[in-house]
Amino acid sequence: MKKSLLVASTVLVNGLLISQVSNAATVEFWTAQTQSDRLQTIELLASTFEALNDGVTVKVVGVDENEMATQMAAAVAAGTTPQLIEVNSEIIMALGEEGIVDTQTHQGVVGDIGKSRFHTGALTTLTSPEGQYYGLPYHGWIQGIWYRKDWFDEKGLAAPNTWENIETAAKALTDKANNQYGILVGTKQDSYTEQVFTQLALSNNAAEFDDKGDLIFNSPATLETIQYYKELAKYNPPGPQNWRARDYYLQGKMGMFFYSTYIMDDLALAEVAKGSLSSENFKELSGGTFDPKLVKNTAFTPIITHKSAASYGTLSGLVALKTKSAEDAQATKDFIEFMYDPASYITFLHMAPGGMNPMLKGIAEDPAYLDDPNGVFKLYGADKMKQIVSGFDDIRSFSVVQGKTFPASGAIFAKSVIPRMIYDVTIENKDPQQALNSAEAEMKTIMGK
Amino acid sequence: MSSILVKNEAQLGLKLVAPAVGIIGLLVIYPILFNIYLSFFDVQLNGSKTFVGLDNYTDLLGNPRYYHSVGVSIVYLIGTVVGTTVLGLAASILMNQEFRFRNLARGLILLPYFAPVISVVFGWQFIFDPVNGIYNHVVVDVLHLTNERENLIGNPDSALFVVILFDIWKHFPIAYLLFLAKLQSVPKDLYEAAAIDGQNAWGRFWHVTLPELRFVIATVVLLRIIWNLNRFEDVYLLAPNVETLPIFTYYQAFAGIVDQGGAAAISVIQLLVLVGLIWLYVRKVLKW
């Protein structure tokens, strides 16, 4: 409580400088942060904004990221579209193509804050081919392999930063008879699977589009990646797996797993780990006590190299949606700018230290940012933090090719074409080339619409 | 009767049914017609529509996953309908006997039906978790029946089986309830007469119980077919990789950005199939 009061007062003082909106207006804000503690923080920011702006109501609604597109469609059909949403870039690009995004508000915010203050790559990712901003980058994460450094040292294994090293280590660390697994790659039909696959595919120079926007997914490079992926999946725990299986790592039953920087606080803090272990996977199964050495024994490789070096990450952005009321639009714009104000911005990013990285230059060096309430950044130390964020410079995805964005990639993502292809190959034992052919056919259908 | 009187009566009749017709038209006929209309369009979220003719249908019928899901649905339907009916029948006959604590037992059988789907599904997932679940712990670590841990819910070969089992367990109480209600109204003298005629227990079941229950059984089967052809939440929550028709529809039309035209096309086909199936059932099996 003390903490939140402190946060509220700093935000309040900073926020006083922001212009006042006097007319009655509503900002319904859908956020993909559905955990109750995160929602509380966002509510706090919203109330602060309300206190600063007479007559403005901010309504915070938590919506699961995988459900966001569907919920949006229902809301648009029912005429109850929210004013603002926060969601990942792929969904943003798909929504942008649907013609419901208020690009003018985005233009205005970028103008007010200053284009040069945004990280260029981040802003490009959310820009339409016609140069409109489909969303505003707010926070981003990078993904890589987190692994048991102590086990690797014991067995004399090299860091899992190349395809060969990963496979060797996965094999060496798997002992299924004793319920031990070498690695976890996603095999369920959800976005986690796509994220893991994308990083491996990018490291093999596979792509969805060429720089003209033509589909080039069905290539030898992609096929090779699928075959390699299938090999890795052999060292998975049985059956379709997704990110929830990171609990197996926290329980000490797994050697390596792909995850974003969001795992940092789970590894470092007993309280967080306990919370995430028991909330969905039942208390009795939390796998014993928290391993305080885990944070020391865990290492991270953000970059995987095969034919080229690739790190993978995604960013989440704020998206203002078209609304009939000018007051609502203005209030939304003010609220977005309030969310970019350093005090509120840092409060937001501190919900997941390391997981949420700032998209505005200068925030990361801010001493207030480096002093997170739980001391996660201190636990990791400056050097490790620097290494982790280094992957962020080389953030790549399927939707941006040589600085050009192809929104169709968002629609393909939203339809889970790639995860289903992976599921077919790894779980249903479908022939990789056949699975690739049908994925390509499906992508063409989506792009034809 | 004079012709004026007939005419007036007909007019009154029309006026009396008009509100009902209006409401049904608004709530049932209009959505169906609008749905059929939508199935010929590519619909964008902002409301704009592009006429695409039969494209939504050809996309769907050219998709091998569609036929696969039809196959899965048939197995699922047969398994669950037969399973719930037989188990419900067995339980109701058992519970129709006199014994101590009969009322308590009758109530307990209903429990799976009361429990919210979401909580029981998580319970089942917890039991079958490949690394931490009790099932694997007992089979592999305690009984040493096999060395391989298995993901029964995740493995596509067994997932359908688990989903069917789950549905039978969760929904047989409703069949049981309906059967028991009817069984209690079967006159005792029918059984006595059959006994006098020299029928044993099996004979009494065959010649008295079944004929008496016939229409209730037929109704239960009909309801289960309709429910289970449209059942989404149980299957999706427990094993989203078991692609019955509703799950297929969800992935095609509602996962990610909603493809309203495609979704409409799927539901039109599903409606036709369901109507055809029920028509066949009512005519051939129920002989109504």
The pLDDT profile of chain A, 449 residues, written as one tens digit per residue, is: 445 555 555 555 555 545 444 458 999 999 999 988 899 999 999 999 999 998 899 999 999 887 888 888 888 888 899 999 999 888 898 888 888 999 999 999 999 999 988 887 788 888 888 889 999 999 988 889 999 999 999 999 999 999 999 999 999 999 998 889 999 999 998 889 999 999 999 999 999 998 888 999 999 999 999 999 999 999 999 999 988 888 888 888 999 999 988 888 777 766 565 555 443 443 444 444 567 788 888 888 888 999 988 888 888 999 999 998 999 999 999 999 999 999 999 999 998 887 888 888 878 778 888 888 877 787 776 666 666 665 655 667 777 777 677 878 888 888 889 999 999 999 999 999 999 999 999 899 888 76
Q: Are B107 and B176 in contact (CB under 8 A)?
A: no
Model-level ipTM above the cut of 0.90: no
Q: Which of A179, A417, A444 to mutate to test the interface with B (most CBs of B within 10 A)?
A: A179
- Is B106's Cβ below 8 Å from some Cβ in A? no
- Is B142's Cβ below 8 Å from some Cβ in A? no
Q: Which of B45, B136, B235 to mutate to test the interface with A (most CBs of A within 10 A)?
A: B45
* The pLDDT of residue A285: 40
Q: How far apart are CA B23 and CA B20, in angstroms?
A: 5
Distances B232 to A41, A50, A221, B164, B251 between C-alpha atoms, Å: 35, 41, 38, 13, 12
- Is B125's Cβ below 8 Å from some Cβ in A? no
- Is B123's Cβ below 8 Å from some Cβ in A? no
pLDDT tens string B116-140: 999 999 899 888 988 888 999 998 8
State which H helix or E strand residue A143 sits in.
strand A136-148
- Is B8's Cβ below 8 Å from some Cβ in A? no
Give the mean model confidence (pLDDT) for residues B252-275.
83
Residue of A70, A416, A449 lying closest to B42 (CB–CB): A449
Hunting for tokens 């995988």 — which residue is that? A66
Contact A73 B154 (CB under 8 A): no
Contact A414 B255 (CB under 8 A): yes
pLDDT tens string B35-67: 999 999 988 777 788 898 898 899 888 888 889
Closest CA to B240 of B154, B135, B130: B154
Q: How far apart are CA A197 and CA A278, in angstroms?
A: 28
Four-CA torsion B56, B57, B63, B65, nearest 10 degrees: 100
- Is A430's Cβ below 8 Å from some Cβ in B? no
The number of CA neighbours under 13 Å toward the Cβ of B194 is 17
* The pLDDT of residue A286: 43
Label residue B287 left, alpha or beta by phi (over 0 means left) and psi (-120 to 50 means alpha).
Answer: left
- Stretch 151-190 of chain A: residues touching chain B, C-beta under 8 Å: 176-177, 179, 181, 188-189
Contact B132 A287 (CB under 8 A): yes
* The pLDDT of residue A13: 54
Contact B258 A176 (CB under 8 A): no
- State phi, psi for A369 to the nearest 5 degrees: -70, -40
Tell me the DSSP string of A248-275: HHHTT-BSEEEEEGGGHHHHH-HHHHHH
List the structure tokens of B2: 């004079």
Contact A282 B126 (CB under 8 A): yes
- Is B119's Cβ below 8 Å from some Cβ in A? no
Q: Are A132 and A113 in contact (CB under 8 A)?
A: no
Q: Are A410 and A319 in contact (CB under 8 A)?
A: no
